[in-house]
Amino acid sequence: MPTIPAAFTLTAPSQTVTYDKKRFGCPIRVYYKTPFKPVLKLYMGESFASIVPANYIIWEVEERTDFYYNTTMLEAGCYQEAQTWDSMLDSYKGQHLKKQDVWGPWNYRSCFESSGSITRMNRPYEILNHSGSMHLTWPTDHSGVYTFRVKIVDPNYSFCELTAEFAVETYGVIIREDGIIVISLVWSFIFILLCSFAYSYYKYMKIFAEMLYYKQIHTFS
């Protein structure tokens, strides 16, 4: 059962969640330094139809915030500020809608079609597609299990609301202990080593003194 620290979620303090394998399937294991972007496949019943080329959005089901988008609006080539989860949630603030109901094909607006506000173009560009360079990146100080939901937002792709769910498990992060603990252990080891050397030196000198004493006795006798 994955534990989500309080610093990495919007909804609650540190919480332990039950992973729903029936819902999300086996997690996609991704090395923590590897960029990631889901490849969406369209099926007609059980038959594969095509790779989905349309724009889509994702959100983390448990409200985790410790994943990142690699591209800013400016880097994506937007002519105006692009829609983001924060801006869409602010637009429907007070209406008590579920997160998945505030953004979709019905209100999607491309940032490449017209000119508008360009005051905050350094914010992350949160819209993905199959051919673009946009992808997700992961934290480098901890691993995690992420449960995502994805929705097609391009209104020209389909009249249906197309969604999917999947999970990602990152791995490979080496957990380093607290620096004070490491330093304390090192100095403890050095102290033990010095004590061992001192004891060995004492024993050696004692044995040497005894040998010298017996040699003197033997000489005088």
Q: What percent of the chain has pLDDT over 70?
A: 83
Pairing of strands 41-44, 56-60: unpaired
Per-residue pLDDT, 49: 93
Per-residue pLDDT, 159: 82
Give residue-wise pLDDT tens across range 34-65: 999 999 999 988 899 999 999 999 999 999 99
Give residue-wise pLDDT tens across range 163-193: 999 999 999 998 765 556 666 677 777 878 7
Give residue-wise pLDDT tens across range 112-148: 987 778 888 999 999 999 998 999 999 999 999 999 9
Give residue-wise pLDDT tens across range 53-112: 999 999 999 999 999 999 999 999 999 999 999 999 999 998 989 999 999 999 999 999
Residue 30 clears pLDDT 70, i.e. is over it: yes
Kindly report whether the global pTM for this prediction surpasses the value 0.85: no
Alpha helix stretches (DSSP H) within the chain:
21-24, 73-76, 85-91, 179-220
Residue 219 clears pLDDT 70, i.e. is over it: no
Per-residue pLDDT, 187: 73
What type of residue is 219?
A: T
Per-residue pLDDT, 11: 66
